Every structure is written in C-alpha cells, then in structure tokens.
C-alpha cells in the first residue's frame, strides 16, 4: 500500500484528515534517506506550502497516528522520520559533534544477535520485548 494511503487510513482512525500540509510532511520524509529536522522538512516541501508553526502541530498529529516517529538527536533539534512499519527496519548513526542522524541497515547476523540478546533479557526480567532500536554514537565523515 502507498505510504500516503496508509497515512490517510491511520489519520482517519483518529478522526483526523489527511490535509495537504500533512501530505507535504509525509512526502518530504518519504523522499529522505535520513531523519529530518523541522527546517529540513520545510525545505523539502513546496515553498510556502506549510508555515513552521503548522509543521509542529501537524507533526504532533502524525506522531499520534503512528505515521511519523520523533527521534531525539545529540543536539537541541528533534528529527522526524516515517515509522518503522512504513519505512522499514533500520538503526541510526548519531554524530556527537554536529548532530546529524543517518539511517543504517543492520546485517542479518547482527539482527540475529540482537534477537538473542532480547530473548535473554526478556527471560531474565520477565519483560516482553516487542522490538528494538539501536543508535550508534560517533563522528560523521564531515566531523572526523
């Protein structure tokens, strides 16, 4: 199913409309290869299509509808991306210097090791693990 169709369905389940502004945000995030800040989202939309104050309100609704995920970085800026079930499973590389966040896919070998670690943690704690996210900290190529 198309990401826009799925976003409309999820919003409708909350009695919310899939407005042109929300469509522009989802389109900008779908076109990106990494999580974006609000200014980056606005730059990825048609000029003047969405005021910054509306972007924040619309992002909050999209987060509530499980269309968008808010990601805290290593700087003062939140970043946003499509939820994992829409964008695919991945992890993040966070630059400790400039705050850039990049998506990275994990190898099947690493995913198996993480599943085993999650199984052991659940067994020892009685916690039900339903997923995982890994953020690797370091310095990006520009900051090295």
What local confidence, expressed as pLDDT, does residue 48 receive? 64
Average pLDDT, the chain: 91
Long-range contacts of 98-103 (CB under 8 A, 24+ apart): 98/140, 98/142, 98/143, 99/73, 99/74, 99/75, 100/34, 100/73, 100/140, 100/142, 101/34, 101/35, 101/71, 101/73, 102/33, 102/34, 102/140, 103/33, 103/34, 103/35
> Does residue 75 register a pLDDT over 90?
no
What local confidence, expressed as pLDDT, does residue 47 receive? 67
Give start and end residues of each alpha helix (H) in 16-99.
Answer: 20-31, 38-43, 52-64, 84-87
> Where is pLDDT greater, at 72 or 37?
37
> Does residue 77 register a pLDDT over 90?
no
Contacts of 129 (CB under 8 A, 6+ apart): 118, 119, 121, 122
What are the tens digits of pLDDT across the range 105-140?
888 998 899 899 999 999 999 999 888 888 889 999
Domains of the chain: 1-88 (1.10.10.10), 89-144 (3.30.1490.190)
What local confidence, expressed as pLDDT, does residue 52 receive? 86
User: Where does the pLDDT of residue 49 fall: very low under 50, low under 70, confident under 90, or very high at 90 and above?
Assistant: confident
User: Where does the pLDDT of residue 12 fall: very low under 50, low under 70, confident under 90, or very high at 90 and above?
Assistant: very high
Give start and end residues of each alpha helix (H) in 13-51.
Answer: 20-31, 38-43
Contacts of 126 (CB under 8 A, 6+ apart): none
């Amino acid at each position: 199913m198309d990401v826009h169709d799925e976003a409309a369905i999820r919003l409708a389940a909350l009695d919310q409309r899939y407005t042109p502004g929300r469509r522009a945000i989802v389109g900008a995030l779908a076109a990106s290869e990494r999580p974006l800040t609000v200014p980056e989202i606005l730059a990825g939309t048609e000029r003047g299509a969405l005021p910054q104050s509306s972007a924040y309100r619309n992002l909050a609704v999209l987060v509530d509808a499980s269309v968008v995920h808010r990601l805290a970085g290593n700087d003062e800026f939140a970043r946003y991306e499509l939820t994992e079930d829409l964008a695919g499973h991945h992890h993040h590389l966070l630059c400790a210097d400039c705050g850039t966040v990049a998506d990275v896919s994990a190898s099947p070998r690493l995913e198996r090791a993480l599943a085993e670690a999650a199984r052991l943690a659940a067994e020892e704690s009685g916690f039900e693990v339903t997923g995982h996210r890994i953020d690797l900290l370091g310095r990006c190529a520009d900051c090295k």
